[in-house]
């Protein structure tokens, strides 16, 4: 039995179908609304708008639930590794041992980037922000891989997806080395995806690099937690760019650009800037007051979420791992103490309680990145490496959706009514 709602306008009434998913809220299908009633819906920020059907990730903001292809994030964080999660997001099922081995081989053997790409870095100033370099270099990948950008060819889509997942760590590490003025490290095929990345980041020609199992485990977890998150701003950017038929590398570059914003993936870097500005636990109340002041643009970075009106399940997991990592690397981080106290105070404050503002994935992740020796301006790059898997999974799902068409929202025009041109001598 099809569920419907009736919409009564000034001079007409229409019946709209109500669509249900496997889980989550129903959605009123308004596809015919403009044609039938000559009106638009208005939803800035798309708070109440479902842009597509998707099978990839499910979030319940009230219950603090996050599942990739039906598997709870807590179970994947405990039992899986990033490459297995990447396979799951791309193909919809956990891989068999043989499938995992094959996927690992393919990704491993796509980790090198065209040697000419390395010369791009010569054009960047030494202190260029790594996210600026990531956007530029990723967008230029389509200049090198003409053999896999026919988006109507399923095999091309798969090769491009593999190339992006494989090359993102290599490009990211090259950005870091450019900032340091150190030589780039080439990927090694005998290391894990995460181990390879850490070695490309921190190895120098002067000595053998000792990979820390604790660092590899922590980074693996952070990549799993950041891999996908439904129709967030950067994923929606990738889908919208892809809906015009743009090549996959350009779409992922657009996603990186969107992620960079401090309201989104740039928040992890902004959290550390904030903790540094707070400087001491005794200053927390002053910053809480600023966060509540409507006339002050300051917000408590790492708090709040469009969907989670409960604790972000990823923040819970990262918070627990913070303690482990800090003990493992034997670091006392004063920022961690400030973060714990800030969380405690904010969660008791009526303003935050009333608005259901809880710590999100970005609140604690920077503490771990710092402990692993990753500089603040590389935090969002970490997010981009992990989210590339979610972006390409959504891009592949969007391209192969028979209902997909170019995204083209409308508007409520509030500008000037029709008026005639006035020559400059009359103005
Ligand atoms: C990510 O979408 C995703 O899934 C994103 C992400 C992913 O994995 O892809 O989860 C990753 O981007 C996490 C969010 C990281 N951003 C931050 O930590 C930046 C700080 N947070 C805010 O900018 C904000 O909470 C957002 C952007 C996250 C959410 O913004 P919304 O949903 O548009 O909420 P809002 O701005 O309308 O806020 C509602 C109220 C407002 O107050 P009132 O007007 O009702 O009085 O809460 C207030 C806001 O002023 N508020 C905050 C606040 N966040 C919201 N006040 C102080 N500090 C904050 N952090």
Active site residue 362: yes
Among the listed residues 81, 228, 312, 362, the single catalytic one is: 362
Nearest CA to ligand 1 atom 16: 263
Asked if residue 132 has pLDDT above 80, the reply is: yes
Q: What digits encode the pLDDT tens for the residues 180-212?
A: 999 999 999 999 999 999 999 999 999 999 999
> Got the DSSP string for 227-239?
S--SS-HHHHHHH
Nearest CA to ligand 1 atom 13: 264
Backbone CA torsion sign across 352, 357, 358, 363: negative
**pLDDT mean over 388-416:** 95
Torsion of CA 189, 190, 196, 199, to 10 degrees: -120
- What does the pLDDT read at residue 363? 92
Asked if residue 136 has pLDDT above 90, the reply is: yes
Backbone CA torsion sign across 39, 43, 47, 53: positive
Mean per-residue pLDDT of the chain: 95
Is the backbone of residue 50 left (phi > 0), alpha (psi -120 to 50) or beta? beta
Ligand 1 center–CA 308 separation, angstroms: 10
- What is the C-alpha to C-alpha distance for residues 273 and 153, in angstroms, rounded to an integer? 44
**pLDDT mean over 140-153:** 88
Ligand 1 proximity of 53 Cβ (cutoff 6 Å): no
- 391 φ/ψ angles, rounded to the nearest 5 degrees: -60, -45
- What is the C-alpha to C-alpha distance for residues 362 and 302, in angstroms, rounded to an integer? 5
- What does the pLDDT read at residue 328? 81
Ligand 1 proximity of 299 Cβ (cutoff 6 Å): yes
Q: Cβ contacts of residue 294 below 8 Å, gap of 6+?
A: none
Helix (H), strand (E) at residue 28: strand 27-28
Query: Are the beta carbons of 104 and 83 closer than 8 angstroms?
Result: yes
Ligand 1 proximity of 268 Cβ (cutoff 6 Å): no
Active site residue 62: no
**Beta pairing partners, 13:** 8
Nearest atom in ligand 1 to the alpha carbon of residue 271 is: 18
| Best of 301, 304, 387 for a ligand 1 pocket test (most atoms within 8 Å of beta carbon) | 304
Query: Are the beta carbons of 250 and 241 closer than 8 angstroms?
Result: yes
Query: Are the beta carbons of 385 and 86 closer than 8 angstroms?
Result: no
Ligand 1 proximity of 355 Cβ (cutoff 6 Å): yes
Residue with tokens 């990738």: 238
**pLDDT mean over 233-242:** 98
**CB 220: neighbour CB atoms within 10 A?**
22
């Amino acid at each position: 039995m099809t569920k419907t709602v009736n919409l009564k306008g000034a001079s007409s009434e229409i019946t709209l179908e109500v669509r249900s998913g496997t889980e989550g809220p129903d959605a009123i299908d308004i596809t015919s609304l403009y044609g039938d009633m000559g009106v638009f819906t208005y939803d800035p920020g798309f708070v109440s708008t479902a842009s597509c059907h998707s099978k990839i990730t499910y979030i319940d903001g009230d219950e603090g639930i996050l599942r990739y292809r039906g598997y709870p994030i807590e179970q994947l964080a405990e039992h899986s590794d990033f490459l297995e999660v990447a396979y799951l997001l791309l193909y919809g099922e956990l891989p068999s041992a043989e499938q995992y081995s094959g996927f690992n081989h393919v990704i491993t053997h796509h980790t090198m980037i065209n040697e000419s790409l390395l010369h791009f870095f010569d054009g960047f100033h030494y202190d260029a922000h790594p996210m600026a370099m990531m956007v530029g270099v990723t967008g230029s990948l389509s200049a090198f891989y003409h053999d896999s950008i026919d988006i109507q060819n399923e095999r091309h889509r798969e090769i491009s997806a593999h190339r992006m997942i494989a090359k993102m760590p290599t490009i990211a590490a090259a950005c870091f080395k450019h900032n340091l003025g150190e030589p780039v490290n080439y990927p090694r095929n005998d290391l894990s995806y995460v181990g390879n990345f850490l070695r490309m980041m921190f190895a120098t020609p002067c000595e053998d690099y000792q990979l820390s199992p604790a660092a590899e485990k922590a980074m693996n977890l952070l990549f799993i937690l950041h891999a996908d998150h439904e129709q967030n701003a950067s994923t929606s950017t990738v889908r919208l760019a892809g809906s015009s038929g743009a090549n996959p590398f350009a779409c992922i570059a657009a996603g990186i650009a969107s992620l960079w914003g401090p309201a989104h993936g740039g928040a992890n870097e902004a959290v550390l800037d904030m903790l540094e500005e707070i400087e001491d636990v005794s200053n927390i109340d002053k910053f809480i007051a600023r966060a509540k002041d409507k006339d002050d643009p300051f917000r408590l970075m790492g708090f709040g979420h469009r969907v989670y009106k409960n604790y972000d399940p990823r923040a819970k997991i990262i918070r627990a791992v913070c303690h482990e990592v800090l003990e493992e690397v034997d670091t006392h981080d004063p920022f961690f103490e400030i973060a714990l106290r800030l969380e405690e105070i904010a969660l008791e404050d009526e303003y935050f309680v009333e608005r259901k503002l809880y710590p999100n994935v970005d609140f604690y992740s920077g503490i771990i990145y710092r402990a692993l020796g990753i500089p603040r301006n590389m935090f969002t790059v970490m997010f981009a490496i992990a989210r590339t898997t979610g972006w390409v999974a959504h891009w592949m799902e969007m391209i192969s959706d028979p209902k997909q068409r170019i995204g083209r929202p409308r508007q409520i025009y509030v500008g000037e009514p029709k008026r005639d041109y006035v020559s400059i001598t009359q103005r």
